[in-house]
Structure 1
């Protein structure tokens, strides 16, 4: 990818003072509903307990042989109880050590082992890149977070009252197109189909806005599709090209990209899902990831380790814009809050992702300088929670007992 010729102005961006919003009571995730089977195809978000409220203990335990043995046992237990075919876990912290493990199989047919070098589908971690692309334009003074979406995209329900900020922080009130039965039916009829942004929005816009913009939190993939359309309209470039030049290239992420369809370069693991017409377990490796700029990206362990630091540290953004990104608002769930395309989960900052066959968690605990990346080859729920959440919970219970990652079981969905 050629280097961008556009310099980012890191001066003071055009950001207006925000108004306070009422707090929502429920944090939900998107679902695919097809032939009576609930199919989770989005991820879910996140606040941090204040440091003074946590028990007095080290922020993070050193990764001694004893702690590594505990982690090994915990991961094997989750792998067994969730029946997840394979998992990769990477944990790094200055002065505490590093821990990288792969367990299970990358292909149930051949029994090939997992590898930390695999390309993986990362689901809604994609949203962190999409919102970063928008925020680069904020720094360029080409958009303002408090611009209404109607300035850029026509036909959005209540679009004159919904701002780019509302979209990025999941407080727009727009219907999540993944929840529309027509979308679920069309996707399950042809899982390799590529839906255009306008097709995705058409499924959403059949429904009125669910609540006044800014009044509460509700996770919706529609929001990020709209933000990608804004980026494309303002820049005059294809969205994936802008992200590659202005986000991935300056972040030095050489193995991260937005696929056009179901392509999935080797080496990669196979992913398995029960998001099928009859609820049976199937190989979902060659499906087109639903969501486009909300959930389609591919990356690997090394890139996501780097991205966690870039995302939470704000090295691609001006300090003022990064400060706006990191204004976490309550979601209605204890310990979980959401900023601009980033969550805070009991002190851990980042995002998770889920789509048929795969789940990913990419989080960083700034207080300890620790980064945790998890890939699973299944999205099948166990006791109401996705395997990504289960593995992240098991790891953090051991190494950061004062900051235990968790996402309560959502209402119909699973991550």
Structure 2
């Protein structure tokens, strides 16, 4: 009997201890969970570091305004706007700005949705999907959907300079109709050529196969499910509501984007917060907020580079090891998106200023990535303002030296010309035309160094206005001096002939 009582007491004691342990575990577990959920995804110190970095880079590069968003683990952990728009309004994370070629990754997703729906295949020929797509080049019949996505169709700016056309098309159909007499730059599937028309063809395929206007398809199947409520699609840059900025001698100048047909390739207008949801979809394997837009296999396929081709371009994404990125370039706007699946971070930056040869926009996203990875971003001792000041000084010096030589030292040159040999003077005179030759050849030079992109003069000026102004003055001064010296040499030769007669 005593043993039975002791046994019951022992069991009760052990039970009370177990209950106490379980209660304490529950309390500590709840406290830990509460603390973990309360802990910020991005520490205050790191947020401050990012904030200082952006403001410093903006000042160094004379960027008038931008918005940025950072995502991690399905949440927006940083979202902020800086500076002003072209109309003078404060930039916020909800300010709509053109995202330019970031649109290509969105167009690619639309195509992949139709692939997974069984409506098209990646190996389908474009001519079989688009009755209006015809090329005199027989190789055009072999272009596949996959090659358009990978930018390996054989189409290129050098054979179809769509950015440089004086008259821009008004629709996808009109744009594609212009391809009829184009000859491909390479056999389909053999070489990478970054070319906007590839994605215009893809947009037309989406429109034709889905039987929905391309903007409506994007709205219904991508923007609405992602709650990208402020995101729209534009066919022409003339529909952009806000002016952007160009940089002239380091000073931002509000300017309307030049006319350009951008449907499918560069036509989306969005916000940092909306694009953050787009990045969360990418990091979530094709799912956002419980809604699946594409399978994980489809997302993975978009990140594969084409086999047998020297290229780092997947389907709307540039693949750099584990990282994925794409930039967007317009003449008064710029954008960047960066995915780091290894750490789960995504970064998007929308700039209120456009392409400029002196501004390295890519350092913004890469610098933020360094901070997120616990590293110190590289610092630059030279700012765009310093470079532009140097170019302005060089331009002023060029003007002063030419005025000095043309007006105040002409008699001295004429005196020496009478004493020197004609061939030597002629060589020196020809040297003054070198700047003019470079200036005239500038479009071809930029096409060569710029990976085959063909630009017209308006775009070249916006790319590097201070350099173009200096080179134009140098060319004009050289040409004027050459003509004056040539006339002088003719007069001197006639004098010699008369003297000999």
TM (norm. structure 2) is: 0.58
User: Per-residue CA shift, 1:11-62, capped at 9, x if unaligned?
Assistant: xxxxxxxxxxxxxxxxxxxxxxxxxxxxxxxxxxxxxxxxxxxxxxxxxxx8
Give the match for residue 116 of structure 1: 93
Superposition deviation, residue 343 in structure 1: 2.5
1:340 to 312, 315, 331: 315
Are 1:104 and 2:83 an aligned pair? Answer: yes
What are the equivalent positions in structure 2 for 1:176-255 lying under 5 Å apart? Answer: 176=157, 180=161, 184-186=164-166, 195-202=170-177, 206-255=181-230
Asked if 2 retains the 8 angstrom alpha-carbon contact of 1:204 and 1:222, the reply is: no
1:393 to 357, 366, 369: 366
Superposition deviation, residue 311 in structure 1: 3.2
Superposition deviation, residue 270 in structure 1: 3.8
What are the equivalent positions in structure 2 for 1:147-158 lying under 5 Å apart? Answer: 147-153=124-130, 154-156=133-135, 157=137, 158=139
Change (3 A) 1:400 1:381: farther
Superposition deviation, residue 67 in structure 1: 3.2
Inter-partner Cα distance in structure 1 for 2:49 and 2:170:
44
User: Per-residue CA shift, 1:353-409, capped at 9, x if unaligned?
Assistant: 1112111112221222212110111123244x542x13112222322378999xxx9
Provide the aligned length of Structure 1 versus Structure 2: 333
Larger radius of gyration: 2
Give the match for residue 45 of structure 1: none
SS at 1:91's partner residue? strand
Inter-partner Cα distance in structure 2 for 1:373 and 1:363:
6
Change (3 A) 1:248 1:404: farther
Superposition deviation, residue 123 in structure 1: 0.5
User: Per-residue CA shift, 1:48-88, capped at 9, x if unaligned?
Assistant: xxxxxxxxxxxxxx844443343233222321222211122
Give the match for residue 356 of structure 1: 331
Asked if 2 retains the 8 angstrom alpha-carbon contact of 1:89 and 1:101, the reply is: yes
Give the match for residue 122 of structure 2: 145
Inter-partner Cα distance in structure 1 for 2:195 and 2:308:
13
238-247 or 294-303: bigger deviation: 238-247
342-351 or 72-81: bigger deviation: 342-351
Higher relative contact order (CA 8 A, sep 6+): 1
Superposition deviation, residue 240 in structure 1: 1.5
2:112 to 117, 123, 135: 135
Change (3 A) 1:411 1:212: closer
1:295 to 255, 266, 276: 266
1:322 to 299, 303, 323: 299
Are 1:305 and 2:276 an aligned pair? Answer: yes
Change (3 A) 1:294 1:97: closer
2:146 to 165, 176, 179: 165
Inter-partner Cα distance in structure 2 for 1:399 and 1:309:
17
Asked if 1 retains the 8 angstrom alpha-carbon contact of 2:257 and 2:332, the reply is: no
Give the match for residue 234 of structure 2: 259
Are 1:72 and 2:57 an aligned pair? Answer: no
Inter-partner Cα distance in structure 2 for 1:69 and 1:97:
16
1:89 to 68, 84, 88: 68
Asked if 1 retains the 8 angstrom alpha-carbon contact of 2:244 and 2:255, the reply is: yes
Change (3 A) 1:288 1:348: farther
Superposition deviation, residue 282 in structure 1: 5.1
Asked if 2 retains the 8 angstrom alpha-carbon contact of 1:102 and 1:114, the reply is: yes
Inter-partner Cα distance in structure 2 for 1:301 and 1:363:
13
Inter-partner Cα distance in structure 1 for 2:451 and 2:156:
16
Give the match for residue 413 of structure 2: none
Inter-partner Cα distance in structure 2 for 1:297 and 1:322:
20
SS at 2:53's partner residue? helix
Inter-partner Cα distance in structure 1 for 2:452 and 2:307:
21
RMSD (CA atoms): 3.6
Asked if 2 retains the 8 angstrom alpha-carbon contact of 1:87 and 1:114, the reply is: yes
Give the match for residue 15 of structure 2: none
Change (3 A) 1:89 1:141: same
